Amino acid sequence: MSSEQKRVYILLKAVIFHYHGLDELEKNDLEETAKKLSGEDDLKWAYEFISQDYLTSFERAREYFNDVIGDYTKEIRTDLINMVWQANNLKGYVTEMEATAMLKLAKDWKVEKELIELVLK
């Protein structure tokens, strides 16, 4: 995983988790992910990105992702959406707000069909 992909991965997870308010389980998951990827600085960057303006963080992240992810293969884009879906399922549910956010990203990244297939599994 490139350093850019690591940053995208961590920001994606963080912004979706923050979409409804970060809980302790999600915070722990983010910290474990950062540790596994040696991405502690990327997690710090993601938190700073979100804290610049919490209310607009998702839309700003969408713009960032769309600038970066356009060059990623469909498989990588799908893997990113799958990662977030699976991470949300760890807590036993996905909120409507989180699902809507993931659908918006899947549409942006042209992997809506793949996300729907994941959800139906």
Q: Output the pLDDT for position 87.
A: 84
- Give the separation between CA 31 and CA 36, rounded to whole angstroms: 9
Q: Output the pLDDT for position 99.
A: 86
Structure tokens at 73: 């293969």
Do residues 75 and 109 touch, judged by C-beta distance below 8 A?
Answer: no
- Give the separation between CA 97 and CA 6, rounded to whole angstroms: 24
Among 114, 108, 43, smallest CA distance to 75 is for: 114
- Give the separation between CA 62 and CA 12, rounded to whole angstroms: 9
Q: Output the pLDDT for position 78.
A: 92
Break the chain into its structural domains and give their ranges. Answer: 3-120
Q: Output the pLDDT for position 54.
A: 87
The pTM (predicted TM-score) of the whole model is 0.87
Which residues, in sequence order, are CB contacts of 4 under 8 Å at separation 6+? 68
* Segment-wise mean pLDDT, segments of 10 residues, the chain, 121 residues: 87 88 86 94 96 92 92 90 84 82 92 88 75
